[in-house]
Amino acid sequence: MNDQHEERSPLSQGRNISLGQLAKLFFFISLTSFGGGATAYIRRIIVENKKWLTNEEFFSGLALVQLLPGANVVGISLYIGNHLRGIPGALIAACCLIFPASMIFFGLGFLYFYIGELPSIEIMLKGAGAVACGLMASMFVEAAKESLHNLIDIFLFLVSFLLVYAAHIHVPYVIFMVAPIAIWWYRPRASKTISQPSSSPQETQNNYHG
């Protein structure tokens, strides 16, 4: 086995994934993911069904993706591909996510501009939208389980949620407002770095595996 991959994912079963498997799965995701719940859909497939990543690996990737510009779905695919198979994996995951769907977009665009009509899909979308909502909510439940361990976590979570939801502040501003406080709180401290990893067995492995 390749040393690099061993180093990357100590917990998930993702180290034996071939580029072909990655391509096949993201091709499938490209044609079966819809609207708002797409990131949650990817988590469902990659973390729960395939077990290629742990929840912890997925959500720390999502944190990174949210920090940077660009579509979240594409970002998380790049992260997953890179995490499992390095740069080639990232490129394959992103291309297989984008290009099959882009063919369908091209076809729909052609129909719309050429014939000038939309198939009446609005009513059916209502049901699918509700399920997408449930999918997002399930991702929130998992994220909360993964990230909220103490009162300060809950405080940081509530503040970020309220800034987005009630104050309508854009995501990057929220991150730049809340993250410094959070980073300051979790800064490496002589006493804390020793006690921190033992608080969760997952972290212990992850911290010392390299």
Partner 1 sequence: MDNTYLIIAKLFFLLSLSAFGGGNTVLPSMHMAAVSQHHWMTNQQFLDLFSISKAAPGPSTLIVELIAMKATGFSEESHFLFFSAALGALLAILAIFLPSSLLLLVVSRFWEIFQGMPWQYTIKKALLPITAGLILGSTWIVAKTAIHGWITAAMGLISLIMILRTKINPIIMMLVAALLSRILFKYIPFSDGF
For residue 99, the number of C-alpha atoms closer than 13 Å in the C-beta half-sphere is 9
Which residue in 90, 92, 198, 201 binds partner 1 (CB under 8 A)?
90
State whether residue 70 is helix, strand or coil: coil
Q: Which tokens go with 76? A: 């998380």
Asked if 47 touches partner 1 (CB under 8 A), the answer is no
Asked if 106 touches partner 1 (CB under 8 A), the answer is yes
In whole angstroms, what separates CA 180 from the centre of its chain? 22
Report d(CA 170, CA 189) in Å as an integer: 32
Q: How far is the CB of 98 from partner 1 (least distance, A)?
A: 6
Which residue in 47, 62, 85, 92 binds partner 1 (CB under 8 A)?
62
Asked if 41 touches partner 1 (CB under 8 A), the answer is yes
Q: How far is the CB of 71 from partner 1 (least distance, A)?
A: 4
Residue 2 or residue 130: which is nearer to partner 1 going by CB? 130
Which residue in 48, 51, 88, 204 binds partner 1 (CB under 8 A)?
48
Contacts (Cβ under 8 Å, ≥6 apart) of 126: none
Q: How far is the CB of 199 from partner 1 (least distance, A)?
A: 10
Residue 52 or residue 79: which is nearer to partner 1 going by CB? 79
Integer angstrom CA distances of residue 36 from 10, 73, 136: 31, 10, 8
Residue 41 or residue 52: which is nearer to partner 1 going by CB? 41
Torsion of CA 155, 161, 165, 169, to 10 degrees: 90
Report d(CA 102, CA 187) in Å as an integer: 43
Please, which of residues 120-179 interact with partner 1 by CB under 8 A?
121-141, 143-144, 146-148, 152-154, 156-165, 170-172, 174-175, 178-179
Asked if 49 touches partner 1 (CB under 8 A), the answer is yes
